[in-house]
A = this chain, B = another copy of it.
């Protein structure tokens, strides 16, 4: 029996909040991919954490094992609702996810995983989103699995790792995926391309509510929720919600003819938190009725494959010796109008192919 060979920390008796990295350090030997998958599908969060660490590894040595783990999990994946959550820094994303996630885990007794794509972690090196200390109550709940954003590599690489982590979480029986991202950079597009439902958190306040939200993000949202609807903020929030509704009305409809609603929430009082969940369910049912749900997922998979392939091709190209240096030089000359794009492109290919 494969179980017998496992180290102590791989057992299901471990507390779910345990740090997988610390666990890994105490490991007597590494589990095989088969062992890891067997454990994680039995609901062992430590094995799940280890498996995600394995697929996040940038070491070539880990690739075959990582590939095997994902392949084994793939047939067990897909049975969750995948929700993307974004909003500008300050909108109260952590407290919203803490309150919303706790409602799902505790009141509804559903298992949920919180993953993150944080492009700022590419710069700072440290991860901000998905940090367990930001969601202490949720992280401690047995039904919740909270995982920080992968770091390092390009946004595309980070997004690919989060997509794969999602497959593992689904195989581990988590029914709801919350994919968190910050309202800056290109990460919303990455998250949008991997979720069933995109939730935009907004601040109330008069006049300039949209300040800071990237252009185009509002049109990507399937559901909008105004946060911090407490005390003196309640009236302003109602006014803001009505203005958003009017604005959304001017947007062209989605393919499935879904009209995004604007909800009011307070993470402090838990006001409106249950309504966000019913709205997600309502949206998913609406999408499934018109077969847009499966279509969206199918298209996302195809797009992901194409992106993976094209990223690989371009990465190979940009790794050619001296290429980035030459490109920067040619870019400057083109921007100054000294040479044509045709000439610059020809020059680059002639130089680097020879």
Contacts and interface: CB of A to CB of B under 8 A. Distances in A.
A188 B335 CA distance: 22
A306 B341 CA distance: 9
Which residue of A210, A299, A341, A345 has the most chain B CB atoms within 10 A of its CB atom? A341
Contact of A250 (B210, B254, B313, B346): B210
Given A344-B305, A345-B305, A349-B312, A337 B252 contact: no
A348 B305 CA distance: 10
Given A298-B335, A302-B334, A337-B77, A219 B210 contact: no
Interface string A292-308: 00000111011011101
A71 B309 CA distance: 34
A78 interface: yes
Quickly give the copy total for this chain: 2
Interface in A266-310: 297-299, 301-302, 304-306, 308-310
A212 interface: yes
B334 A305 contact: yes
A252 to B, nearest CB: 5
Nearest to A75: B337
Interface residues of A, number: 64
A336 B78 CA distance: 11
A231 interface: no
Contacts of A74: 337, 339-340
Given A337-B78, A340-B70, A215 B251 contact: yes
Contacts of A308: 341-342, 345
28 contacts: A71-B340, A75-B337, A209-B250, A210-B250, A210-B251, A211-B253, A215-B216, A215-B219, A215-B220, A215-B252, A215-B254, A216-B216, A216-B219, A218-B250, A218-B251, A244-B250, A297-B335, A301-B331, A302-B331, A302-B335, A304-B341, A305-B334, A305-B345, A306-B327, A306-B331, A309-B345, A310-B314, A313-B317
Interface of A: 66-67, 70-71, 74-75, 77-78, 160, 163-164, 167, 209-216, 218-220, 243-244, 246-247, 250-254, 297-299, 301-302, 304-306, 308-310, 312-314, 317, 327, 330-331, 334-337, 339-346, 348-349
Given A215-B219, A298-B336, A312-B345, 17 more contacts: A70-B342, A167-B340, A215-B216, A215-B251, A216-B219, A218-B250, A219-B219, A244-B250, A246-B247, A299-B335, A301-B331, A302-B335, A305-B331, A305-B341, A306-B331, A309-B327, A312-B349
